[in-house]
A and B are shown apart, each in its own frame.
Chain A
Amino acid sequence: MGATIYRIVVRGELSQRYLPAFEGMTLATGDGQTAIIGPVIDQAHLHGLLDRVGDLGLELVSVNPAPVPASPAP
Chain B
Amino acid sequence: MAGPRSAASANRTITVDAGAGQNRNARRARPNDRPGEQLADELGMALLTTKLTPPRTSLGQVPRPRLYDLLHAGSQQLLTLVSAPAGAGKTTLLASWGSSRRPPGPLAWLSLDAGDNEAGRFWAYVLAALCQSGAVPSDSALRGLTPHPGSDAGFLSLLVSGLAELPTPVVLVLDDLQDITDASVLGGMEFLLRHAPPQLRLVLSTRVDPPLPLQRLRISGQLVQVRAADLAFTVAEVAQLLATCEDQPRLSQDDLALLQARTEGWAAGLRLAALSLAGQPDPHRFVTEFAGDDKSVADYLTGEVLDRQPEELRSFLLRTCIVDELNGDLADALTGGHGGESMLARLERANGFVTAVGARRSSYRYHRLFAELLRYELRREAPGQVIRLHRRAAGWYAARGLTVQAIQQALMAKEWRHAAGLMAKHGPSLILRGDATALHDLVGQLPADLVQADPELVLLAAADGIVRGDPETAAAQLLAASERAAVLSEERRGRFALLLAIMNTALAWQVGDLDRVLVSGEEALALQPRAGMDGRDDDARAIILTTVGGAALWAGQLDRAELHLREGLAVAQGAGLTLQQFACLSQLALVHAMRGELSEALRWGTNAAEMAAEQDWSSSVQAAGGCLALAWVCYYRDDLGEASRYADQAAVASGLGRQPMTIGVAILRARLQRARGDLAGSLNALATVRRDLAGWKPPRYLWRWLLVTEAELRSAAGQPQSASAIRKSLDEGGPLSGGEAVVLARLHLAESDPAAAAAMLAFCLDGDAPGGFLMVPAEAWLLDAIASDVLADHDRVATSLERALSLAEQGGLRRSFLDAGAPARSLLARYRQRVPTSWSYLDELLQASAEAAQVTVSPPRLIEQLTEREHTVLRYLPSLMTYEEIASDLYVSLNTVKTHAYGIFRKLGVTGRRQAVRSARELHLL
| Among A11, A18, A19, A31, residue most surrounded by chain B Cβ atoms (within 10 Å) | A18
Contacts of B380 in A (CB 8 A): 16-17, 19-20
B-side interface mostly: helix
Looking at the complex, which one of A15, A18, A21, A57 makes contact with B86 (CB distance below 8 Å)? A57
* A18-39 interface bits toward B, Cβ cutoff 8 Å, 1 = contact, 0 = none: 1111000000010110100000
Nearest residue (CB) in A for B207 is: A54
A19 to B381 Cα, complex, angstroms: 11
Looking at the complex, which one of B207, B266, B299, B302 makes contact with A13 (CB distance below 8 Å)? B299
B299 lies within 8 A of A55 (CB): no
B296 lies within 8 A of A34 (CB): yes
B295 lies within 8 A of A20 (CB): no
Nearest residue (CB) in A for B87 is: A57
A70 to B313 Cα, complex, angstroms: 42
Is B563 among interface residues, defined by CB-CB distance under 8 A?
no
Contacts of B266 in A (CB 8 A): 57
* B74-95 interface bits toward A, Cβ cutoff 8 Å, 1 = contact, 0 = none: 0000000000011100000000
Contacts of A32 in B (CB 8 A): 294
Q: How far is the CB of A31 from chain B (nearest CB, A)?
A: 8
B86 lies within 8 A of A56 (CB): yes
A-B contact pairs, 30 of them (CB 8 A): A11-B296, A13-B295, A13-B296, A13-B299, A14-B295, A14-B296, A15-B299, A15-B303, A17-B302, A17-B373, A17-B377, A17-B380, A19-B380, A20-B379, A21-B372, A21-B376, A32-B294, A34-B296, A54-B208, A55-B86, A56-B369, A56-B372, A56-B373, A57-B87, A57-B266, A57-B268, A57-B269, A58-B296, A58-B298, A59-B85
A55 lies within 8 A of B376 (CB): no
A57 lies within 8 A of B379 (CB): no
Contacts of A56 in B (CB 8 A): 86, 298, 369, 372-373
Nearest residue (CB) in B for A58 is: B296
* B345-371 interface bits toward A, Cβ cutoff 8 Å, 1 = contact, 0 = none: 000000000000000000000001100
Nearest residue (CB) in B for A11 is: B296
Contacts of B294 in A (CB 8 A): 12-13, 29, 31-32
A31 to B208 Cα, complex, angstroms: 28
A55 to B299 Cα, complex, angstroms: 13
Is A40 among interface residues, defined by CB-CB distance under 8 A?
no
* Other A-B pairs, 15, CB within 8 Å; known A13-B296, A15-B303, A17-B380: A12-B294, A12-B296, A12-B297, A13-B294, A13-B295, A17-B373, A17-B376, A20-B376, A32-B294, A55-B86, A55-B368, A56-B298, A57-B85, A57-B297, A59-B85
Chain A residues with a Cβ closer than 8 Å to the other chain, count: 22
Is A10 among interface residues, defined by CB-CB distance under 8 A?
yes
B86 lies within 8 A of A12 (CB): no
* A27-67 interface bits toward B, Cβ cutoff 8 Å, 1 = contact, 0 = none: 00101101000000000000000000011111100000000
From 237 to 292 in chain B, residues with beta carbon under 8 angstroms from any chain A beta carbon are 266, 268-269
| Interface size range of chain B in the complex | 20 to 34
A56 to B368 Cα, complex, angstroms: 9
Contacts of B296 in A (CB 8 A): 10-14, 34, 58
Contacts of A29 in B (CB 8 A): 294
A56 to B298 Cα, complex, angstroms: 8
Contacts of B298 in A (CB 8 A): 56-58
Contacts of B372 in A (CB 8 A): 21, 55-56
9 residue pairs, one from A and one from B, having the closest CB atoms: A12-B296, A20-B379, A57-B87, A32-B294, A57-B86, A13-B294, A13-B295, A20-B376, A21-B376
B86 lies within 8 A of A54 (CB): yes
| Among A18, A19, A56, residue most surrounded by chain B Cβ atoms (within 10 Å) | A56
A49 to B482 Cα, complex, angstroms: 42
A59 to B298 Cα, complex, angstroms: 11
A14 to B296 Cα, complex, angstroms: 6
B207 lies within 8 A of A18 (CB): no
Q: How far is the CB of A49 from chain B (nearest CB, A)?
A: 14
A14 to B297 Cα, complex, angstroms: 9
| Among B296, B298, B383, residue most surrounded by chain A Cβ atoms (within 10 Å) | B296
Nearest residue (CB) in A for B295 is: A13
Q: How far is the CB of A57 from chain B (nearest CB, A)?
A: 4
A57 to B88 Cα, complex, angstroms: 9
A11 to B300 Cα, complex, angstroms: 13
Contacts of A20 in B (CB 8 A): 376, 379-380, 383
A58 to B300 Cα, complex, angstroms: 12
B369 lies within 8 A of A55 (CB): yes
Contacts of B207 in A (CB 8 A): 54
Contacts of A15 in B (CB 8 A): 295, 299, 303
A29 to B299 Cα, complex, angstroms: 13
Q: How far is the CB of A19 from chain B (nearest CB, A)?
A: 7
Contacts of A59 in B (CB 8 A): 85
Contacts of A11 in B (CB 8 A): 296
From 376 to 415 in chain B, residues with beta carbon under 8 angstroms from any chain A beta carbon are 376-377, 379-380, 383
